[in-house]
Structures are given as structure tokens and as C-alpha cells.
Amino acid sequence: MAYDKENIRNVTIKDVAKRAEVSIATVSRILNGKGRVSPLLAERVLLAAKELQYQPNDVARALKIKESRSIGLIIPDIENPFFPALVRGVQDAAKIHNYAVILCNADGKTEEEKKYIQFLYSKRVDGIAFTESVDNKKNIALLDSLGIPVVLLDRRVEGMKASGVSTDNRLGAFMATKHLIEKGKRRIVFINGSPKLSSGADRASGYQDALLSYNIQYDKKLAFIGAFTYESGYAAVENLLLSCHQFDAIFASNDIMAIGAIECLNQYGIRVPEDVAVVGFDDIRLATWYKPLLTTIRQPVYEMGQYAIKLLVEHITGERSSPYEKIFVPELMIRQSSGGLEESK
């Protein structure tokens, strides 16, 4: 049934060996540059390989040396604007080390993640970079029991069971809130993504810490829980407006929630930043295209992806054995949605 499978020239190391009149072991050694070989044979083999257009079969190689040169990348959803840069960072780094990246969108469902882990395991990936949906540690344990090296992306790692790459979310949230306070805002709404994720929890505590350090009473009614989506940002603000609580600023847990929030405010005739200042988180590209330009906390997402693979490869090769946590420093990007640079009021 298969696509022309018969007709296809499928050159193996054997064919090369025959043409160069040497043994297959010699061919292998020459092609991999292992052991010493006479230049004469080397030349003959290389020529034969070229003439036959030999391309090594990595699956056979993988079987033999137990190393597939591929890694899995599990994220919630590539359509979420946060992830493309991360994925690109991962892929670029993987490419340098000659790893193939298998992309998996698990939609933040623990069960899906588990399926993908098993799928990737049956493919015998050498490692997995993983944006875990919920910090439930079960999937980490699974990976551990399978012996697959893993690096957690965008998540702080409880108890250091695995290496992780993240941004200092607490600090970022602190900076965002502080910025709003310095703008003269006192009734600052916080729209969280998922507080079950370390990123959500940390941003919540950064928000509270900032209020505390300026002696502003933390008001539960101004704290919302959403889902890192546009709709969720929109809905949070709508609820807020209906409940008639006063507020003069919003700190949203990511940029698309911030945009959802602003859209809703606009819908109700509330101006940003004049009436309500808004700060987001992530600094996705859209933040500089959206109007008003979005003030936000920048995460070096591309670099995070790169670093994750650097770490993962170190685990795979055994260069690094114990978990390591890399925490990037966030940066406040002041733009229009918070009223810009000038300190007001």
C-alpha cells in the first residue's frame, strides 16, 4: 500500500561498504569519525557514500545507541501568543544540538499531557521540555519513573524535582503594581490567570507585596481569577463593572487578558489610560501593536526557550545531574495603557 516504497532507492551502509570494498564496520567508523582508519579507505568510503547519495538511517542508529536525537515539547496551545517565541527559542537551540523537536499541544489538560508523555516515551525521545498545566507533580513523577530528562518551562519547580526555566513572576508583578501605585493609583484590580500555576500564584503574591509595601489595604473584591485568555479578561472586567466596585487601575496576569479587559472597558465607555490604567504581563508582540500601546512586564520568552534546551541537553548528556532552576529577570515596559512615562497626580 505504501507510497512507492518498492521503487525507492534506499541506500544502506552495506551498499556503501560493497562499493568501497570494505566492511560495514569500517564504513560506520569512517562516517562517524571514530577509531583510526587509513586515509586511503576513508577517501574511498566517502566517495562511495557520495556517489550513492547515502543518507544515514537515524532510526536504526537510535535503536542501537538508545538515543533518538529528538525531544518533546509539550505546551498548552501554540495559538496562544505567548508560545510562538518560546517554541522558536526551543527549536533554534535544539537545532544547534541536532535534536528534532516534536510539538504537542495539550491544551493545559493533565490527561492530555499524560497521553503525550507516553506517546513521546514510545518514540523514545531523549528529553522533554514541558509547560505543565497544573502544578500537580503527577506528570513530573511519571516522567521521572520513565527516566526521561525534563525541563519545566515557565514554571517554578516545587521541591526541585526537575530543572526549570522561568521569570521572576513575583518580582514582575511587584514592579507592575508598584508602577501603578506610583502613578497615583490606589484601587488596583488584579486579574489572575490560574492561581494553581506557580506563575499565577507568584504574580498574586507580588501584587499583594507591592500593596503592602505602600500600605495599601489588600481588597479581596478587587482580585479576580481567570484563565489566561482574552475572554477571561473581558469577563472579569464586566463582572467588576456590574458589581459596582470602584477601581482606577488593572493589573492583568498576561497581555491578552489585559487586552480583553481594555476592550471591555472601552465597550462601557471607560477610557484607558485616562480613567483606568492597565498593565499586562509577558510583552507579547501584540503589546506594541495594540492601541493603546500596552504597558507590561517583559519576559524574555525566546531566551527562556533557548535556555530550557541548553539545560535539557545538559541533563541528557549527563553533564548536569541535579536539577537547576534558572530564573530570568522581568522588565517593566512603560507604554500608553498605564499613562506612559510621566509620573502623574
Partner DNA sequence: AAAGACTAAGTAAACGTTTACAAGGATAAC
Partner DNA sequence: GTTATCCTTGTAAACGTTTACTTAGTCTTT
Q: Which residues bind a second copy (CB under 8 A)?
A: 1-5, 7-9, 55-60, 62-63, 66-70, 77-79, 81, 83-85, 87-88, 91-92, 100-105, 118-124, 146-147, 149, 259, 263, 285-286, 289-291, 315-319, 321
Using the minimum distance from each CB to a second copy, give the nearer residue, 84 or 300: 84
As measured in angstroms, the least distance from the Cβ of 247 to DNA is: 59
CB-wise, 56 or 195, nearer to a second copy?
56
286 touches, from DNA, a second copy, none (C-beta below 5 to 8 Å by class): a second copy
Nearest approach in angstroms of CB 219 to a second copy is 30
Contacted entry of DNA, a second copy, none for residue 105, CB cut-off 5 to 8 Å set by kind: a second copy
Judge contact between 144 and 161, C-beta under 8 A: yes
| Cell 535534536 found at | 99
Q: Using CA atoms, how far apart are residues 78 and 55, in angstroms rounded to an integer?
A: 32
Residue closer to a second copy by CB (options 55, 239) is 55
Binding partner at 83 among a second copy, DNA, none, C-beta below 5 to 8 Å by kind: a second copy
The item of a second copy, DNA, none sharing an interface with residue 50, based on CB under 5 to 8 Å by kind, is: none
Tell me how far, at minimum, the Cβ of 101 lies from DNA, in Å. 22
Q: Residue 11 Cβ, how far from DNA at the closest point, in Å?
A: 7
Task: Match 568510503 to its residue by C-alpha cell.
Answer: 45
Contact present, 187 and 248 (Cβ < 8 Å): yes
Sign of the four-CA dihedral 133, 139, 143, 146: negative
Angle between helices 110-122 and 138-146 (to 10 degrees): 10
Concatenate the DSSP letters of all residues of 261-288 into one string. Answer: HHHHHHHTT--TTTT-EEEEEE--GGGG
* Nearest distance in Å: CB 41, DNA: 4
Which listed option, a second copy, DNA, none, makes contact with residue 40 (CB within 5 to 8 Å by class)?
Answer: DNA
Answer with the entry of a second copy, DNA, none that 104 interacts with (C-beta below 5 to 8 A by kind): a second copy
What is the residue-wise DSSP string for 162-224?
A: SEEEEE-HHHHHHHHHHHHHHTT--SEEEEES-TTSHHHHHHHHHHHHHHHHTTPPP-GGGEE
Instruction: Compute CA distances 316 → 68, 70, 319, whole Å.
Output: 11, 11, 8
Name the residue nearer to DNA (CB basis): 34 or 220. Answer: 34
- Whether the link from the prior residue into 195 is cis, omega within 30° of 0, is no
Closest separation between CB of residue 186 and a second copy, Å?
A: 29
Q: Of a second copy, DNA, none, which one does residue 267 interact with (CB within 5 to 8 Å by kind)? A: none
Closest of 134, 75, 129 to residue 107, by C-alpha = 75
The smaller minimum CB distance to DNA, of residues 64 and 345, is found at 64
Shortest CB 79 distance to a second copy, Å: 5
Binding site for DNA (CB under 7 A): 10, 12-14, 21-29, 31-32, 34-38, 40-41, 54, 56-57, 60-61, 63-66
Q: Which has the closest alpha carbon to 293: 275, 278, 312? A: 278
Alpha-carbon separation of residue 340 from 171, 273, 293 (angstroms)? 20, 9, 9
CA distance 203 to 174: 8
Nearer to a second copy, 202 or 255 (CB): 255
CA angle 275, 207, 273 (to 5 degrees): 15
Residue number, 65 or 244, with CB nearest to DNA: 65
The distance of closest approach from Cβ of residue 262 to a second copy in the complex, given in angstroms and rounded to an integer, is 10
Residue 335 contacts which entry, DNA, a second copy, none (Cβ below 5-8 A, type-dependent): none
For a second copy, the closer CB: 84 or 195:
84
